[in-house]
Copies of this chain bind each other. A is one copy, B any other.
């Protein structure tokens, strides 16, 4: 996992302090952003919650957009960190995939506000920052790809190799859907039911059988 975070410049020399303060800034900003959206949040509000002056805040970032980037980055890696531990590839491919889906959707549920925010405000980021976010998304997909690939190789799943990546993205999107369509899904299903149903459907899709219409 490459830690190639986009470099944000700071007036402060002490690298460690910069890290600490930036985390404080993110912690202060994230909830306000999620609640009000990026554009409707003022730097003043963030500084207030940050507990320091606007001047100090600006010692650690260059522009308001930097905060957005920091926050997006934080959300992304939080999701990543929450998912990874559950992804030990122990057991059969089917069980591993089931566990991974379960873990992923559970995290989507826990972080739904953050995830919705992430996708809604991505466009407010500069191209460079956006690219980084995409890479993080790809990384997550890579984990599912890995599991699927193994399953294909050991005969558990019967999809074509070239579609492994697509299916990985399908799974992620179906997971994120729990957040984006909550207004309808969370009325009809509990989280547990949702995970179970989607897992079944996905496994069905992957089950050995004729894969393409001729």
What separation, in Å, do the CA atoms of A103 and B45 have in the docked complex?
46
A:148-171 near B, CB below 8 Å: 159, 163, 165-167, 169-170
Closest to A199 in B: B213
Output the least CB separation between A184 and chain B (Å).
Answer: 7
Closest to A202 in B: B205
What separation, in Å, do the CA atoms of A185 and B213 have in the docked complex?
21
> Is A207 an interface residue when CB atoms closer than 8 A count as contact?
yes
Q: Determine if B177 and A173 form an interchain contact, defined as CB atoms under 8 angstroms apart.
A: yes
What separation, in Å, do the CA atoms of A189 and B160 have in the docked complex?
14
Q: Determine if A169 and B163 form an interchain contact, defined as CB atoms under 8 angstroms apart.
A: no
What separation, in Å, do the CA atoms of A211 and B141 have in the docked complex?
26
> Is A37 an interface residue when CB atoms closer than 8 A count as contact?
yes
A119-B120, A204-B204, A205-B204 known; A169-B184 Cβ under 8 A: yes
Give the contacting residue for A203; candidates B124, B173, B196, B213; CB below 8 A.
B213
How many copies of the polypeptide does the oligomer hold?
A: 4
Q: Determine if A204 and B203 form an interchain contact, defined as CB atoms under 8 angstroms apart.
A: no
Closest to A211 in B: B200
What separation, in Å, do the CA atoms of A134 and B213 have in the docked complex?
34
> Is A18 an interface residue when CB atoms closer than 8 A count as contact?
no
- A94-109 contact mask (Cβ, 8 Å, vs B): 1 or 0: 0000000000000000
Give the contacting residue for A204; candidates B123, B169, B209; CB below 8 A.
B209
Residues of chain B with a CB closer than 8 A to A203's CB: 213
> Is A192 an interface residue when CB atoms closer than 8 A count as contact?
no
> Is A181 an interface residue when CB atoms closer than 8 A count as contact?
yes
Q: Determine if B204 and A189 form an interchain contact, defined as CB atoms under 8 angstroms apart.
A: no
Sorted nearest first, the 7 A-B pairs with minimum C-beta distance are: A205-B205, A39-B39, A173-B177, A204-B205, A120-B120, A201-B205, A200-B212
- In the assembled complex, 12 residue pairs joining A and B whose CB atoms fall closer than 8 Å, in A order, are A39-B39, A116-B123, A163-B201, A165-B184, A166-B194, A166-B197, A170-B198, A199-B213, A200-B211, A202-B205, A203-B213, A209-B209
